[in-house]
Each structure stands twice: as structure tokens, then as C-alpha cells.
Copies of this chain bind each other. A is one copy, B any other.
Amino acid sequence: MSNFVKAKEILGSNGIRPSVQRIAVLEYLLTHRTHPTADMIYESLLESVPTLSRTTVYNTLGSLAGCGAILSLDLDPRQAHYDGDNSAHGHFLCTGCGKIEDVALHGKEFGTNLGGLLPAGAQASSIQLSFKGLCAKCNTNNQ
């Protein structure tokens, strides 16, 4: 199934009307696994959706992250990055080049089963595991 159709379905099943703009944003996230920022998405989509506005991108990303369909990543203090893969995994931010890579968890305990650690009465709706450091390339270049 194409990511266009997938995007349409995900929007619909989350009660978000699948407008052209919203489909484009989500399709971009499903296709590009580069953890883009809102502005990267906006700039890229401008070619195919010339009337697109930044506000719409922000609103769409907010709605999708709010219902858990995508991940909003906080590990870059300068701006949010987004991930169309909402399965349980962590992220590695290279402080050298700024690239974000996925960190597979390979069956390590993660997710709601960590809930036993939470403060009494608290209920978590999202979990993030974030690593920062130097990626292989930046590690080598700095030596």
C-alpha cells in the first residue's frame, strides 16, 4: 500500500479529516525516515503544495503527535523533530552533525511496562529514550 493511502487511513482512523495538506505532511513522514523538523517538511512540500503554510504544518504535526500517530522528538533543544514511525524505539542525536538515528531496543524492556516506575497516580501517554553524543563519522573526524 502506498504511503499516500496509508496516510489517508491513519488520519481517518484518528478522526482527523484527511485534507490534501494533512495527507501530504503525514505521507512525507511515512516516506522520509530522516526525523525532519517542521520547517524541513514545509520547505520540501512547498514544491508539490505551493499554497502550503507553516501554520498548517505545525497544526497537523501537533494533531498527529497528540493522538500518538507520529512521534514528536524533544532531544534537539533547538527545535522539535518528528518521526512517522511510532513503534517503541529510542533515538541518537549526533551533537556534531545534528543527525538523528533510530535506536532499536531489541526486546529490551520499554514502553508501558516501565510504568511501575512512575510517580504514584501518574499516567504516562508517551515515553522517550534519547541518547546524545558523536556518530561514527564525527567521532572519526575529530581524532
Contact = CB atoms under 8 A, between A and B. Distances in A.
A79 to B, nearest CB: 9
B122 A117 contact: no
A139 interface: yes
B117 A104 contact: yes
B121 A131 contact: no
B123 A139 contact: yes
Contact of A124 (B77, B104, B125, B132): B132
A108 B113 CA distance: 12
Contacts of A129: 127-130
Given A94-B122, A122-B134, A129-B129, 6 more contacts: A72-B77, A95-B125, A121-B136, A122-B135, A127-B132, A130-B130
